[in-house]
Amino acid sequence: MVAGIQKDSVIVVGVDGSESSLQALQWAVVLTDAAGAKLEAVMAWEWPNVWGPTPTWPPDKDPGEETRKPLAQAVDSVLGPGSAQKVQQVVTEGHAASVLIAASEHADLLVVGSRGHGTFTGALLGSVSQHCVTHALCPVVVVRPRSSGRQ
């Protein structure tokens, strides 16, 4: 058992393609491998917010499918090509914080990066990670980026 995580445990990691989320995925992979737990990488998508008349989306637009590709690329970049079967990849419609809170219902641990693709990049802790820390139904680990001066 590693830090309360055991073979039947489920570790959920939020991925948005940012460097912070890739570091969180890397951290979760190491813990999952050490404990023999199951890893679930989650990426959320939302329809764009618009003001004014409702836009007409192309009938063949599939945001879920369009989101699967960057999630698979993120997993491949961390685990290497062909290793994706080690990670259950989940794509869900909704705001990232809400999707991760929902995923925390079946998780033993939720792992998030400290900052993602938000609009206020100067925040010390991103709004999604802050929301997860305060509302998740399981323990949460926030993976902060390594300092460039740290050896």
Angle 116-79-42 (CA atoms, 0-180°, nearest 5)? 45
For residue 135, the model assigns a pLDDT of 92
**pTM value?**
0.83
Instruction: Quickly list DSSP for 17-78.
Output: SSHHHHHHHHHHHHHHHHHT-EEEEEEEE-PPP--SSPPPPPTT--HHHHHHHHHHHHHHHH
What mean pLDDT do residues 7-14 have? 93
More confidently predicted of 88 and 85:
88
- What structural domains does the chain harbor? 10-49+73-119+137-144 (3.40.50.620)
Tokens of 19: 């460097």
pLDDT beyond 50 at 145: yes
What mean pLDDT do residues 9-29 have? 94
For residue 14, the model assigns a pLDDT of 96
What mean pLDDT do residues 2-20 have? 87
More confidently predicted of 68 and 117:
68
For residue 62, the model assigns a pLDDT of 80
